[in-house]
Structure 1
Amino acid sequence: MKRFSILFLALLFGKRMHAQEVKTSSTDVAPTSKSLFNPENKRKDSRKGDFYFHWGYNSSWYGKSDIRFQGPNYDFTLKDVVAHDRQSKLSWDYLNPALITVPQYNIRVGYFIKDNYSISVGWDHMKYVMDIPQTVAITGYIGSNISQEQVSTGTMAGNYNGQLINVKESMLTFEHTDGFNYANVEVERYDDIWVAPSGNTSLTLETGLGGGMIVPRSDVRLFGLGRNNHWNIAGYGLSAKVGLKFYVWKNIYLQNTTKVGTTNLKTIHTTGWDEYDKASQKINYLENLWVIGVQF
């Protein structure tokens, strides 16, 4: 009986020691994150299963693009059109809840499917404004009276094969200012560059690929005929991005990201006669955005 009691105590004590060793070692295991930079310190917590949300603002730059206009008695293309964004002046509008969607803004919600990979949905609200006046080449034809309302085109009527014309406001205004909206899904990867010894503050490289729909609200006047049209799914876009994400604290971050994208807009609303008149164009762009976010 005495031998049995000693054996039982030895087994019980051995199990407790083994359990304590397992528990201790589990806390010392390096996180599942991987990094191209292999920083000296490691985060103590995995991001897998976390959500994130951020909001911020952007500036955009656009490559030259061809714009084709089609409708009753006209079909012409303006070549290498120059356009810019329309940045709102720095003011309290950026912090006014009733006006924060007026500037060029970005909103995104994401989920970490692994410690260093996430999938997200977002809305990039950019603005595209064609420079007026400007001199461009034109191909195609313009009738003397166009669209359902038989609007007069005056001296611009004729056939064109690459001639240079000066586009003035009397002929055209063309904007995606409410705006040049990119509704997209992105997949992101994260690589820690630097992690504080505490593990709560860090600097991370984010890279990603995305795709989605272009949903502009286009303000167009073609020979005086047009309006600020309603939103419509005009085409699609693809994008790639790279940015730096600085975790001020474990769950709060600031981020700067540069995104390059290409878009194909096939059904841009123009005169208000959507069933008859439309425009189409392909826009390449560069976007830089600053955001503040929370991870939870």
Structure 2
Amino acid sequence: MSKYLFLIFIFLPFLSFSQSDYLHRKGTFFVFWGYNRSAYPNSDIRFQGPGYDFTLSSVHASDSPTQFDGFETYFNPSLFSIPQFNLHGGYFFRDNWSFSLGWDHMKYVMTPDQVSHITGHIDPQVSNPQISVNPAYVGNYSNTPFIIESRDFLQYEHTDGYNYAAVEIENYQPIWKKANSRKQLDWINGVGIGAVVPRSDVRLFTVGTNNFWNLAGAGASLKSGLRLNLSKLLFFEAMFKGGYTNLWEVHTTGRSVDHASQSIWFGEFYGALGFSIGKAK
């Protein structure tokens, strides 16, 4: 039943209001900047390289928001990329339809020293050049309970960005409009597809680095939320977004022979302040 209610929530806006109720925005551009929180269900992570191939099951992870400190970080142009941010720009090709390009800078941190299950094998010597593995981790595993020791087994996070770069299309339905004014509240629903470009900070068997950004995978998403048009130029947007991403090439030790793969579902909420550009009526 909850699935049907969700679908009604998503598509109900498309069924009401006439074209004359919209603000006339065709041909205008917009850009917005905001901040987000994100959440992730447990997922499996597979690690592969010379001498090892294993999967950690149902791994728990969370986001890593920067503590709010006012102008010191969140409103400091030199530190803009540190918090979890959203940057989007778009174009209205109809009064109630737009497409946009977006960069959602989320963060993903595996909980250290958690209990998981492991399947696969680990040899005494792995990677190239060789890394000597703690003998306690060497062996063959089949869904075996396993503590992911952060000290000498694994640290895994995308804190310089679990970055989702997407192309999105959005529909706008007015749910309130002030007479003789540009003040209007829109219900927005959208869909997107894009690439995942993380910067993965990983230590595997004590070897690793804060790897450079790379094209690690792709994903798709749905979103629903509200936009309050405050004036001809200014608006505020609050949005829920959910999506699925498949990461097939996560950098780990910093060596080309080693990598990880993972599928991540994500839920995200963001608030953003934006500006409209162009001759809207």
Shorter-chain TM-score above 0.5: yes
% same residue: 45
Aligned match of 2:241 in 245, 251, 259?
259
2:275 corresponds in structure 1 to: 294
Tell me if structure 2 keeps the 8 A contact 1:42–1:199: no
CA–CA separation in structure 2 for the residues paired with 1:78 and 1:232: 23
1:180 corresponds in structure 2 to: 162
List aligned pairs for 1:80-229, cutoff 5 A. Answer: 80-91=58-69, 92=71, 93-154=73-134, 155-169=136-150, 170-229=152-211
Select the structure of larger CA radius of gyration.
Answer: 1
Q: Residue 160 of structure 1: SS of its match in structure 2?
A: strand
CA–CA separation in structure 2 for the residues paired with 1:97 and 1:144: 48
Q: Residue 238 of structure 2: SS of its match in structure 1?
A: strand
Q: Using the TM superposition, give the Cα deviation of residue 248 of structure 1 relative to its aligned residue in structure 2, in angstroms.
A: 1.3
Q: Using the TM superposition, give the Cα deviation of residue 153 of structure 1 relative to its aligned residue in structure 2, in angstroms.
A: 1.6
Q: Residue 79 of structure 2: SS of its match in structure 1?
A: coil
Aligned match of 2:17 in 26, 29, 38?
38
Cα separation, partners in 2 of 1:198 and 1:35, compared to 1, 3 Å = farther
Alignment TM-score, normalising by the size of structure 1? 0.85
Deviations along 1:42-95, one digit per CA (max 9) or x if unpaired, are 45x511001000000000000111000000000000000000000000012000
1:31 corresponds in structure 2 to: none
CA–CA separation in structure 2 for the residues paired with 1:235 and 1:192: 35
List aligned pairs for 1:26-65, cutoff 5 A. Answer: 36-38=15-17, 42-43=21-22, 45-65=23-43
Deviations along 1:193-235, one digit per CA (max 9) or x if unpaired, are 0000123101000100000100000000001010000110001
CA–CA separation in structure 2 for the residues paired with 1:180 and 1:160: 29
Gaps in structure 1 of 5+ consecutive residues: 1-33
Q: Residue 236 of structure 1: SS of its match in structure 2?
A: strand
List aligned pairs for 1:1-40, cutoff 5 A. Answer: 36-38=15-17
Residue type of the alignment partner of 1:54: F
Residue type of the alignment partner of 1:289: Y
Alignment TM-score, normalising by the size of structure 2? 0.90
Tell me if structure 2 keeps the 8 A contact 1:56–1:289: yes
Tell me if structure 2 keeps the 8 A contact 1:35–1:192: no
CA RMSD of aligned residues (A): 1.4
Q: Residue 94 of structure 1: SS of its match in structure 2?
A: coil
Tell me if structure 2 keeps the 8 A contact 1:247–1:254: yes
Q: Using the TM superposition, give the Cα deviation of residue 150 of structure 1 relative to its aligned residue in structure 2, in angstroms.
A: 1.7
CA–CA separation in structure 1 for the residues paired with 2:175 and 2:263: 36
CA–CA separation in structure 1 for the residues paired with 2:230 and 2:92: 19
CA–CA separation in structure 2 for the residues paired with 1:104 and 1:167: 26
Q: Using the TM superposition, give the Cα deviation of residue 36 of structure 1 relative to its aligned residue in structure 2, in angstroms.
A: 4.0
Q: How many aligned residue pairs are there?
A: 260
CA–CA separation in structure 1 for the residues paired with 2:240 and 2:58: 24
Q: Using the TM superposition, give the Cα deviation of residue 250 of structure 1 relative to its aligned residue in structure 2, in angstroms.
A: 2.6
Residue type of the alignment partner of 1:176: H
Q: Does 1:284 align with 2:265?
A: yes
Tell me if structure 2 keeps the 8 A contact 1:36–1:191: no
Q: Using the TM superposition, give the Cα deviation of residue 35 of structure 1 relative to its aligned residue in structure 2, in angstroms.
A: 6.5
CA–CA separation in structure 1 for the residues paired with 2:158 and 2:14: 40
Return structure 1 stretches of 4+ with deviation > 2 angstroms. 34-39
CA–CA separation in structure 2 for the residues paired with 1:100 and 1:197: 38
1:245 corresponds in structure 2 to: 227
Q: Residue 98 of structure 1: SS of its match in structure 2?
A: helix
Q: Using the TM superposition, give the Cα deviation of residue 37 of structure 1 relative to its aligned residue in structure 2, in angstroms.
A: 4.1
Q: Residue 102 of structure 1: SS of its match in structure 2?
A: coil
Q: Using the TM superposition, give the Cα deviation of residue 149 of structure 1 relative to its aligned residue in structure 2, in angstroms.
A: 2.6
Deviations along 1:132-170, one digit per CA (max 9) or x if unpaired, are 010000000001111113212221000000010111112
1:14 corresponds in structure 2 to: none
2:9 corresponds in structure 1 to: none
